[in-house]
A and B are shown apart, each in its own frame.
Chain A
Amino acid sequence: MSVLVDPVPAVSRSRAVYMDYAATTPVDPRVAAAMAECLTIERCFGNASSTGHAFGSAARACVEKARAQVAALLRCEPAAIVWTSGATESDNLAVLGAARFNAPLNPHGGKHIVTARTEHKAVLDPCKQLEKEGFRVTYLKPGADGAVTPEQVAEVLSPETVLVSLMHVNNEIGVIQDVAAVGRLCRERGVLFHVDAAQSAGKLALDVGAMNIDLLALTAHKFYGPKGVGALYVRRKPRVGLAPLMFGGGQESGLRSGTLATHQIVGLGMAAAIAAAEMQDDALRLSSLRQRLWDGLATLGGVHLNSPLDCSIPHILNVSFEGVEGESLLFGLEGLAVSTGSACNSATQEASYVLRALGRSDALAQGSLRFSMGRFTTQQDIDHALERVRAQVGRLRALSPV
């Protein structure tokens, strides 16, 4: 019996150029192949918890191999990796779980948390929830380069602080924050340290031991794996206690109940293995592509660079165009997939916090674009993007009364 299925609509390749890798990445064909193998009746479809029979133990073997691959990416032991549905869940489990479990153990009440205004909502919203539960949260503001410094963290740590959460790489401008120094500080003061590594895992070398990180969140779909799967690194020596969010079958040492999605996990593992092998070459290639893109944009005049080229990942270039409104720029660039800092459609009408910290006016923040590149970006893509952007910026500036 066959079922007729409508084909998934394909994006017209002749017009579309994808430069929004920071939002999500295409699945690497090698990852897709590894995942597809799990989805046939002949292969490891079993429940990885049913290790009593061959079907379950085959699935378990796939899962544990993937666990070792992700652990290698972070230079940690496999047993410290907990599978989740993505970085949002990992961040929630880390922030809510660490705060709720450890606050009662702190002699001073342990109800203080330190994070930054520039964190992803997957960290900020759990913090807001904790405020409702009686926690006090300090939201640090980034400096003029968009980064929060270890000195800023040191200033606000108190005996009541139970957790610090700081992202490794900022998703808007790509700036790299000195998490190793913050980790050292937190270790000295006996405070747990959580890092949202969604934008750095698979791109920058990570060593959770050397960086003194206690909890680290990552997601597959930012480094050529599938959406819907991620991991949380949870330090084991000394063991970090977490209050789980999901209750049920007790999988993942009780930290995250739920039958493991073998194919998803295999995808994440394969993506991690490929990233470990290829990230340095990718970074070199992208550095020169990014320079080409910036050099081309700068010739337009009235263009501000928001990504500090010397301390940001080479995958991201965020720029602001004077005299150009962001939503119109994006609309005119249809066919070029990028992100914007325009808040025209946002509920609060607030321009990006990071860009404001950089000193950009609301108007300039609105006229900003984030280009993000990756493994499949070519020089042709860069040149195509430059051509489109030059044309639209020129057109909108000509239409404007400015």
Chain B
Amino acid sequence: MTTTSADYSPLVRELFEHPRAAGVLTDAEGEVAQGEAGTVASGAWVRLHLRIDRGRVTEARFQAYGCPHTLAAAAWLAEHLPGRSVDDPLPEGVGGLATLLEVPTAKLGRLLIVEDALGDALRRWRERGVEFVPPAHT
């Protein structure tokens, strides 16, 4: 197998070499949702930790096993989630993310794993029954 540096965009290389949100979040106040998707056997495994406060992600971290596109997508997501609503955490969609990272068609499945990890984290958070209460209108 051979790959060339032309197969990866500069953004993917930057995210791969300098991920800003790698790691885990501790759950002292019960605000952290953990989700994951994929397996080592399938070649991509992503875990996300999200700290959520009143319906918004305030902090996010990622761990990932997989190819550079997988790592870059997970790194990008963890970096950009803070501030986003849990109802619409990825407005650009997987397609938008693919365009942004210049992911080749053959690798699009990796982005779905990252999206699934996000979905898994939010599903688990909702199942805990913590609901977002909108501020009262005055």
Query: Which A residues fall within an 8 A CB radius of B?
Result: 323, 325-328, 330-332, 334, 339-346, 361-363, 366, 396, 398-402
Contacts and interface: CB of A to CB of B under 8 A. Distances in A.
Contact of B1 (A332, A339, A363, A399): A339
B63 A400 contact: yes
Nearest to A23: B2
B65 A327 contact: no
A401 B43 contact: no
Interface string B1-45: 111010010000000110100100000000000001000110101
A199 to B, nearest CB: 18
Given A327-B3, A328-B16, A334-B5, A344 B63 contact: no
A209 B16 CA distance: 54
Nearest to B62: A399
A325 to B, nearest CB: 5
Tell me which of A332, A343, A345, A401 has the highest count of chain B C-beta atoms within 10 A of its own C-beta: A401
Contacts of B60: none
Contacts of A339: 1-2
Contacts, number: 69
Interface residues of B, number: 25
A331 B64 contact: no
Nearest to B44: A325
B1 A325 contact: no
B64 A399 contact: yes
Q: Is the interface of B mostly helix, strand, loop or mixed?
A: mixed
B68 interface: yes
Given A328-B71, A332-B16, A363-B40, A401 B64 contact: yes
B40 A345 contact: no
Nearest to A363: B40
Contact of B36 (A326, A341, A401): A401
Given A325-B43, A399-B71, A401-B46, A330 B3 contact: yes
Given A362-B43, A402-B40, 6 more contacts: A328-B70, A345-B106, A399-B22, A400-B63, A401-B36, A401-B46
11 contacts: A325-B65, A325-B70, A328-B71, A331-B67, A339-B1, A344-B43, A346-B1, A399-B19, A399-B63, A401-B46, A402-B40
B66 A328 contact: yes
B47 interface: yes
Contacts of A400: 45, 63-65
A36 to B, nearest CB: 29
A328 B67 contact: yes
B1 A343 contact: yes
A340 B3 CA distance: 10
Chain A to chain B: the 5 pairs with minimum beta-carbon distance, closest first:
A401-B63, A401-B47, A327-B67, A400-B65, A363-B40
Contacts of A402: 40, 45, 65
A361 B65 CA distance: 16
Contacts of A327: 1, 3, 67-68
B63 A331 contact: no
A344 B103 CA distance: 14
Contacts of B19: 399
Nearest to B7: A345
A21 B75 CA distance: 35
A401 B114 CA distance: 13
Contacts of A332: 16-17
A401 B1 contact: no
A22 to B, nearest CB: 13
